[in-house]
């Protein structure tokens, strides 16, 4: 019994020691961050904005009808402080997939539904989605967009996209 208690004490101490050995402050400070996205000078509505801070979690937002956005990191409002890379995308109508109903009453209905699904998928595969903004803004490697989130927060981020 004493050996079991000793093992538990040693293991508990080791676990507590590992928790305390993070090598510094492991908390990421999130600050309010908002702004506007424009495309060729006009507000861009319905755009998805993703901000990739050098240190901290991904922050995301969707623009309203005025191109305005407020960043959130997961369920928390705000963005990590510091330099960040930015990507912007706008879902087109072709990006929204419609799935046919899956309820069939007879085997014939099931066959018809299967053929409709195949036809639908083939039609979708042959469509070319046309984004209203250049494709380069969708990828972190090609967007060329950056921002700086100030320690006090950033309320006037301007993300300007051009043709």
Which of 5-14, 36-45, 97-106, 116-125 comes out lowest in average pLDDT?
5-14
Residue 130 has a pLDDT of 72
pLDDT at 97 over 60: no
Question: 159 in helix, strand or coil?
Answer: strand
Q: What's the rounded mean pLDDT across residues 32-60?
A: 96
Q: Are 52 and 22 in contact (CB under 8 A)?
A: no
Provide the residue ranges of all domains of the chain, joining segments of one domain with +: 28-90+132-161, 95-126
What value, to the nearest 5°, has the Cα angle with vertex 135 and ends 39 and 143? Answer: 75
DSSP class of 92: -
| Fold designation for 28-90+132-161 | Immunoglobulin-like (2.60.40)
- What is the distance between the alpha carbons of residues 39 and 134, in angstroms, rounded to a whole number? 10
| pTM confidence score | 0.65
Residue 124 has a pLDDT of 61
Residue 156 has a pLDDT of 94
Residue 17 has a pLDDT of 42
Q: Are 60 and 72 in contact (CB under 8 A)?
A: yes
The mean of the pLDDT values for the chain is 79
Q: 51-83: per-residue pLDDT in tens? A: 999 999 999 999 999 999 999 999 999 999 999
Q: Residue 55 corresponds to which tokens in the numbers above?
A: 């240190």
Confidence band for 132, pLDDT divided at 50, 70 and 90 = confident
Q: What's the rounded mean pLDDT across residues 148-160?
A: 95
Residue 160 has a pLDDT of 96
Q: 14-35: per-residue pLDDT in tens? A: 443 434 444 445 688 999 999 9
Residue 114 has a pLDDT of 66
Q: Are 35 and 154 in contact (CB under 8 A)?
A: yes
Q: What's the rounded mean pLDDT across residues 31-58?
A: 96
Residue 79 has a pLDDT of 96
What is the residue whose two structure tokens read 């937002």?
A: 61
What is the residue whose two structure tokens read 């007879």?
A: 106
């Amino acid at each position: 019994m004493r050996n079991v208690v000793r093992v538990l004490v040693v293991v508990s101490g080791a676990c507590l020691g590992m928790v305390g050995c993070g090598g510094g402050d492991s908390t990421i400070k999130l600050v309010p961050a908002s702004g506007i996205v424009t495309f060729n000078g006009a507000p861009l509505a319905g755009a998805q904005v993703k901000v990739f801070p050098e240190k901290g979690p991904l922050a995301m937002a969707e623009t309203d009808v005025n191109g305005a956005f407020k960043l959130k990191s997961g369920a928390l409002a705000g963005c990590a402080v510091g330099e960040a890379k930015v990507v912007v995308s706008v879902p087109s109508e072709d990006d929204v997939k419609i799935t046919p109903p899956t309820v069939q009453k007879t085997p014939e209905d099931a066959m018809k539904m299967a053929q409709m699904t195949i036809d639908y998928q083939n039609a979708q595969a042959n469509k070319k989605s046309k984004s209203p903004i250049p494709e380069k803004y969708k990828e972190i490697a090609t967007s060329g967009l950056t921002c700086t989130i100030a320690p006090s927060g950033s309320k006037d981020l301007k993300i300007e996209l051009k043709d």
